[in-house]
């Protein structure tokens, strides 16, 4: 399975392209990812509320959604929660966004560490983002477990998403290692020719 390399928001923009709000102001990738996580949590809460037939909490949830949409309106436009929920929330879609959004920071990470070995930087970078993903998945599981919905399809979808994220990271590392090796090969050949002359 190929690893997605673009942020899917209705276009085929490169993952390194800054995420834009509807009014064209840049929105950080972290803020967008956090909004997506919040939307997923709200959607899970909505499902629980609807399934529980608890009318007073349903009113609270609807009121909260309205307040959240208002708070996010400047950054994400009208109906931010509903728009985020309408995206591809399958394990494949979610894993693709996690991988593409997190690995897009590698170029910036390299720029912050000039002159360091790129192979070592790749390892440090991957340790950093994998640590963040581990923390994020644990927090998501804790929230969903607290809502008493971490079972059945939800639990298996989270596990599948986690597996796909790890595979996406492995594919990213393999591609970067191949690129680093290819970039080093012409240098090694040029240096060998220069020392032979």
Instruction: Evaluate whether 32 touches 39 at the Cβ level (below 8 Å).
Output: no
> Is the model more confident about 83 or about 193?
83
What are residue 6's phi and psi, to 5 degrees? -130, 155
What are the extents of the domains in the chain? 20-87, 88-197
d(CA 60, CA 20): 31
Q: Structure tokens of 29?
A: 């990738």
> Is the model more confident about 179 or about 27?
179
Which stretch, 14-23, 87-96, 159-168, 181-190, has highest mean pLDDT? 159-168
> Is the model more confident about 45 or about 12?
45
Output the pTM of the full model. Answer: 0.56
User: Does position 2 have pLDDT exceeding 50, yes or no?
Assistant: no
Fold of 88-197: Topoisomerase I; Chain A, domain 4 (1.10.132)
> Is the model more confident about 191 or about 115?
115
User: Does position 184 have pLDDT exceeding 70, yes or no?
Assistant: yes
pLDDT tens string 93-149 = 888 888 988 899 999 999 999 999 999 999 999 999 999 989 888 888 888 888 888
Q: Structure tokens of 197?
A: 């002359």
Q: What is the mean pLDDT of the chain?
A: 74
d(CA 101, CA 4): 10
pLDDT tens string 57-82 = 556 666 766 777 777 777 777 877 66
Smallest CA-to-CA distance from 161 within 137, 145, 143 is with 137
Q: What is the mean pLDDT of residues 14-26?
A: 48
């Amino acid at each position: 399975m190929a690893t997605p390399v673009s942020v899917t928001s209705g276009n085929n923009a490169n993952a390194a392209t800054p995420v834009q709000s509807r009014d064209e102001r840049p929105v950080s990738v972290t803020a967008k990812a956090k909004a997506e996580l919040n939307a997923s949590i709200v959607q899970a809460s909505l499902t629980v509320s609807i399934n529980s037939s608890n009318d007073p909490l349903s009113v609270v949830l609807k009121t909260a959604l309205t307040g959240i949409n208002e708070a996010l309106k400047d950054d994400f436009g009208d109906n931010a929660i509903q728009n985020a929920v309408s995206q591809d929330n399958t394990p494949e879609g979610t894993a693709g966004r996690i991988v593409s959004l997190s690995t897009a920071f590698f170029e910036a990470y390299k720029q912050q560490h000039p002159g360091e070995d790129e192979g070592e930087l790749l390892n440090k970078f991957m340790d950093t983002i994998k640590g963040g993903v581990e923390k994020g998945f644990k927090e998501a599981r804790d929230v969903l477990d607290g809502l008493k919905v971490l079972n059945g399809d939800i639990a298996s979808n989270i596990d599948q998403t986690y597996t796909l994220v790890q595979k996406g990271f492995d594919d990213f590392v393999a591609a970067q290692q191949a690129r680093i090796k290819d970039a080093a090969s012409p240098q090694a050949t040029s240096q060998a020719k220069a020392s032979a002359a």
